[in-house]
A = this chain, B = another copy of it.
Amino acid sequence: MGEFELIRRYFASVAQSRPDVALGIGDDCALLVPQVDGAQLAVSIDTLVEGTHFLPGTRADYLAQRLLGAAVSDLAAMAARPAWFTLALTLPEASPEWLESFSKALAERAQELDIALVGGDTTRGPLTLSVQVHGWVEPDRAVKRSGAREGDLILVSGTLGDSRAGLQTLLDEEPEQASNAYLRRRFYCPQPRIALARALAPWLHSGIDISDGLVADLGHIAHSSGLGACVELETLPLSDQLLAYAGVEQAQRWALSGGEDFELCLTAAPEQLQYCLREAAALGIRLSCIGRMHEGQGVQLLLHGEPCTAGPAGYDHFGDAR
């Protein structure tokens, strides 16, 4: 089977039609029709490498879910609406079973997230997946890292640390069972908070998605905004499943630095808190206030009002412990 035949066979169904796709996969470029209402194009590219971002032998359908969820989360972090994505797929071999499972899960996830595959490249090599996502955002609604203001409250969506715990159950080679199903699902199937970001955007000063861990990602907001951040450990949102699996101290550590939660970390003025909580509740999404931005720099952790230290700042592919 040739490369082109392979692309056509497995990915044709992922390329669902959208009125803003003038020409989809199969030519030298896709041709896309911009919105005309003054929106800006938000783009982000993400790569997953076997052995670095996922364990060898990971199921193809899980990989597809995680890949697209993580990539679309970057659009959520800017409060952009998803539109299109491209996929660069490097595979050691063209296994029909793998491709069928992967493309089916990718198509389902793409439909859920309202994003269309418009192009790609398949090559032979060590298993590596790059996705570029494209979305649209009104210029005055785009949520950047750099906009936090002194006194802003720090808000996070959902619960933190679950994904890292899910990974741990895999590292420990636990069989799939009821007690780890939730945590593994949190690891494999991140839920980009698009609806929440879109609803809160007018009231937010800054935002980021939590991919490297809360301390690291909040650190980016602090650094970009020329401020410090203070987090109260006892307010970290932890799931019952995580607490049951790991206990409170390990749960807190993973919430701070486990990474890949793909929840949102946002800042807003205190007077917007009630509005934000109400919008989140209306969407059925937990939103927690975990601290405050202040003059200074870096991320400080408080336990019962007293400064404390945390573990490593977050996952960093090339970093030493910082």
Q: Considering the complex, which residues of chain A in the window 70-103 have a beta carbon less than 8 Å from any beta carbon of chain B?
A: 74-75, 77-78, 80, 84, 86-88, 90-91, 93-94
Q: With A47-B121, A124-B49, A128-B125 known to touch, is A40 a contact of B28 (CB < 8 Å)?
A: no
- What residues of B have a CB within 8 angstroms of the CB of A22 in the complex? 40, 139
The winner among A74, A135, A322 for most chain B CB atoms within 10 A is A74
**What are 25 contact pairs spanning A and B, CB under 8 A?**
A2-B316, A2-B318, A2-B322, A3-B316, A4-B220, A27-B145, A28-B77, A28-B145, A28-B208, A30-B43, A31-B40, A31-B41, A31-B42, A32-B42, A34-B40, A45-B119, A49-B128, A50-B125, A52-B123, A52-B124, A52-B125, A91-B318, A124-B317, A124-B318, A128-B128
Q: With A88-B88, A132-B86 known to touch, is A209 a contact of B28 (CB < 8 Å)?
A: yes
- Interface code A3-15, partner B: CB below 8 Å = 1, 0 otherwise? 1101000000000
Q: Which of B6, B39, B77, B88 contacts A130, CB < 8 Å? A: B88
The verdict on A53 contacting chain B, using a C-beta distance below 8 Å, is: yes
Query: How far, in whole Å, are A194 and B216 apart by their CA atoms in the complex?
Result: 42
Q: Considering the complex, which residues of chain A in the window 16-72 have a beta carbon less than 8 Å from any beta carbon of chain B?
A: 22-23, 26-36, 39-53
Query: How far, in whole Å, are A6 and B317 apart by their CA atoms in the complex?
Result: 11
Least Cβ–Cβ distance between A77 and chain B, in angstroms: 4
Q: How many copies does the complex hold?
A: 2
The verdict on A122 contacting chain B, using a C-beta distance below 8 Å, is: yes
Query: How far, in whole Å, are A118 and B44 apart by their CA atoms in the complex?
Result: 9
The verdict on A166 contacting chain B, using a C-beta distance below 8 Å, is: no
Which residues of chain A have a CB within 8 Å of any CB of chain B? 1-4, 6, 22-23, 26-36, 39-53, 74-75, 77-78, 80, 84, 86-88, 90-91, 93-94, 118-126, 128, 130, 132, 134-135, 137, 139, 142, 144-146, 208-209, 220, 224, 316-320, 322
Q: With A53-B123, A123-B53 known to touch, is A78 a contact of B29 (CB < 8 Å)?
A: yes
Cβ–Cβ contact A78 & B27, under 8 A? yes
- What residues of B have a CB within 8 angstroms of the CB of A36 in the complex? 36
Query: How far, in whole Å, are A146 and B24 apart by their CA atoms in the complex?
Result: 13
Q: With A3-B316, A29-B78 known to touch, is A125 a contact of B42 (CB < 8 Å)?
A: no
Cβ–Cβ contact B128 & A121, under 8 A? no
Cβ–Cβ contact A319 & B2, under 8 A? yes
Cβ–Cβ contact A30 & B42, under 8 A? yes
- What residues of B have a CB within 8 angstroms of the CB of A137 in the complex? 31
Query: How far, in whole Å, are A272 and B35 apart by their CA atoms in the complex?
Result: 35
